[in-house]
């Protein structure tokens, strides 16, 4: 489905990031992975599967770092067809207790990082007259959540950024969409007490947490030519939590 395409994934060595890298690679794409750390064991897994990839340590909040690393991809592959802004962090606290540092760090990575990457990679895509950007937002950016003012604000703003980029980039043939996952199985959710897991499941009509693969399947579809008439949309993956 993606033969001959090259994809850049930020936050590539987290749970969803790895699922994205595997899914894109299995569908024939060359995969560039950016993160603040590199997982050599996962890289070996990609190599064993015959997936062509580049793995780089990149601070997406530094435009010089992003530009340099983007240039390295272009030097090797000649183009970037798809950008997935997946990098994100949480630093949870109640508003009255939240520090400015906690607020700033989440906004810097979740929002500013996506802005910098979209601007720099967008400029790569424009002369190609084609491209797809998918932002990994969250349903929390649409409904809010106690203790996550910084995270919900960053993801809500990312959704707004998605819509504006979609309008500005359309004339260059570049589509921009967002996915909004609900509760997805990660190392963090696996460590939660059973009482909290049960409470979470009570709010999900389908009765289970999402898998990273649920997210990667949708992102790959939105990135492909099968979705070439879809732009500016936010698609929820939440088992029916929000209707």
CATH code where residue 76 lies: 3.40.50.720
Residues with Cβ within 8 Å of residue 195, at least 6 apart in sequence: none
Mean pLDDT within 205-211: 96
- 165 belongs to a structural domain: yes
Is 242 domain-assigned?
no
Total domains present in the chain: 1
pTM for the whole structure: 0.96
Domain assignment of residue 144, yes or no: yes
Q: Distance between CA atoms of 8 and 143, rounded to whole angstroms?
A: 29
Asked whether residue 243 is domain-assigned, the answer is no
Classify residue 144 as left (phi > 0), alpha (psi -120 to 50) or beta: left
151 has catalytic annotation: yes
Tell whether the model's pLDDT for residue 190 goes beyond 80: no
Domain residues for 54?
6-237
Q: How does residue 197 score in pLDDT terms, banded at 50, 70 and 90?
A: confident
Predicted confidence (pLDDT) at residue 189 exceeds the cutoff of 90: no
Which entry of 13, 34, 42, 151 is annotated as an active-site residue?
A: 151
User: pLDDT (tens digit, 9 = 90+) per residue, 29-67?
Assistant: 999 999 999 999 999 999 999 999 999 999 999 999 999
Q: Is 1 a domain residue?
A: no
């Amino acid at each position: 489905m993606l033969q001959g395409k090259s994809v850049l994934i930020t936050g590539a060595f987290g749970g969803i990031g790895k699922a994205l890298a595997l899914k894109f690679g299995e569908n024939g794409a060359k995969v560039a992975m950016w993160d603040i750390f590199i997982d050599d064991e996962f890289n070996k897994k990609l190599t064993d599967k015959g997936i062509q990839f580049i793995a780089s340590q990149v601070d997406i909040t530094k435009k010089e770092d992003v530009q340099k690393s983007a240039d390295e991809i272009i030097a090797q592959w000649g183009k970037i067809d798809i950008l997935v802004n997946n990098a994100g962090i949480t630093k949870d606290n109640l508003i009255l207790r939240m520090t400015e540092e906690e607020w700033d760090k989440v906004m810097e990575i979740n929002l500013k990082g996506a802005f910098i990457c979209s601007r720099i990679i967008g400029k790569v895509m424009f002369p190609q007259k084609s491209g797809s950007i998918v932002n990994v937002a969250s349903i929390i950016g649409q409904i809010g959540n106690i203790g996550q003012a910084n995270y919900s604000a960053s993801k809500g703003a990312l959704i707004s950024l998605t819509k504006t980029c979609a309008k500005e980039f359309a004339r260059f043939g570049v589509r921009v969409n967002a996915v909004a996952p609900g509760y997805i199985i990660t190392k963090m959710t696996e460590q939660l007490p059973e009482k909290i897991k049960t409470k979470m499941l009570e709010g999900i009509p389908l009765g289970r947490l999402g898998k990273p693969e649920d997210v990667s399947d949708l992102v790959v579809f939105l990135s492909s030519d099968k979705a070439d008439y879809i732009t500016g949309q936010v698609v929820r993956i939440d088992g029916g939590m929000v209707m």
